[in-house]
Structure 1
């Protein structure tokens, strides 16, 4: 399996999910639903706060991220983690040791940070590595080895996603196709000013993001 660095500079890209079929109504306080399991808005808020504090230490002077993008990364990562957990449980496997090794190294490198920030980095930036580690274990269970094991597990996980509901509140704007995620505009509102348009673009300009109110920005 190709090694993915767990610690990386946070970007404005989003990792988000939706399930198949129509978008369901969400109960108050629910950010995402994976089968019978939910990801609460409170959980998203807590992880987003800690992740923002970490990100602020990585941004260059004058750089700012819109909270919309950071929260999108968080809710997507938490939803994906829940989906991978359910997939792993059904397959009767745990993540390959690559993941535990990467987490141990990350904790050492981030040792000077508060525990909540370290955990937020692992939750958000480590989810892709976690997914691949589970896929590798599933593939090995099928008799494959090396990169073939990861590829085999990935195929099965994509099939699993197609057959299960992984839904995120439309406010976060999400889409998934064969395991590949992308932002989708599901908003019923429109940005009118230059600042809001640029801060809310697919690749937001951090300079314009700095003009957002404090509650809507990170940095």
Structure 2
């Protein structure tokens, strides 16, 4: 079993962390026990998602400014980020290219801003917040490989995005429905993917796709961030 390794963080550190938004391919059941995400031949364990979300929560705490956030959203963001990052990794491998240098530059800039965090917290920000930057850099690298050096930046970007969407369409991408996230148009997005229907008001708040800080504040410490 493999898992995605930590990579990047953007300069806008945890911007709008309380409004966790995600993107991605499909959320599909029938995963093996203990598996949170399955992308092609790569898998991510539920333990890795939980551990990364815990570090991400600690890193996000100052940005939340006393607002509470349900762990449901953090777990979903982590799972979705790992899914698209893994897909981008495998697309790069299929084209036998390395991620564009713009990613390393973004990581360097972000890590300078995160120097006061612990290593685990910094890695969590890099791995989760930086997933969209990693995907964009992967698309650039693949776009260049497909079109050659004479193509414009816009043409390279468009070609890379097309290749990424095609890769997602051609490969099995599964995210455990418990995380409430799906991959759509190449991005991880919060979505009601549960197999059951919430009945009580509390249950509906727990499954809502828009974070509710008032509700989150009533949750036990182990189920919230902040």
- CA 1:200/1:24 → structure 2, altered by over 3 Å: closer, same or farther? closer
- Report whether the alignment pairs 1:87 with 2:77: no
2:155 paired residue number: 148
1:73 paired residue number: 77
- Report whether the alignment pairs 1:8 with 2:19: no
Q: Shift of residue 179 of structure 1?
A: 1.7
Q: Distance in 2 between matches of 1:130 and 1:208?
A: 33
- Report whether the alignment pairs 1:218 with 2:225: yes
2:34 paired residue number: 29
| TM-score, length of structure 1 as denominator length | 0.89
**1:90-129 superposed matches below 5 A:** 90-129=94-133
Describe the superposition over 1:69-104 as per-residue Cα deviations: whole angstroms up to 9, x where unpaired. Answer: 000000111111111100000011111111101101
- CA 1:6/1:40 → structure 2, altered by over 3 Å: closer, same or farther? farther
| TM-score, length of structure 2 as denominator length | 0.86
Q: Shift of residue 166 of structure 1?
A: 1.0
Q: Distance in 2 between matches of 1:89 and 1:157?
A: 12
Describe the superposition over 1:35-94 as per-residue Cα deviations: whole angstroms up to 9, x where unpaired. Answer: 121001111011101000011121112x01000000000011111111110000001111
Q: Distance in 2 between matches of 1:175 and 1:112?
A: 33
Q: Distance in 2 between matches of 1:114 and 1:181?
A: 27
- CA 1:76/1:27 → structure 2, altered by over 3 Å: closer, same or farther? same
Contact 1:14 1:76 in 2 (8 A): no
Q: Distance in 1 between matches of 2:91 and 2:49?
A: 22
Q: Shift of residue 24 of structure 1?
A: 4.3
Q: How many residues align?
A: 212
Query: Gaps spanning 5+ residues in structure 1: where?
Result: none
- RMSD across aligned positions (CA): 1.9
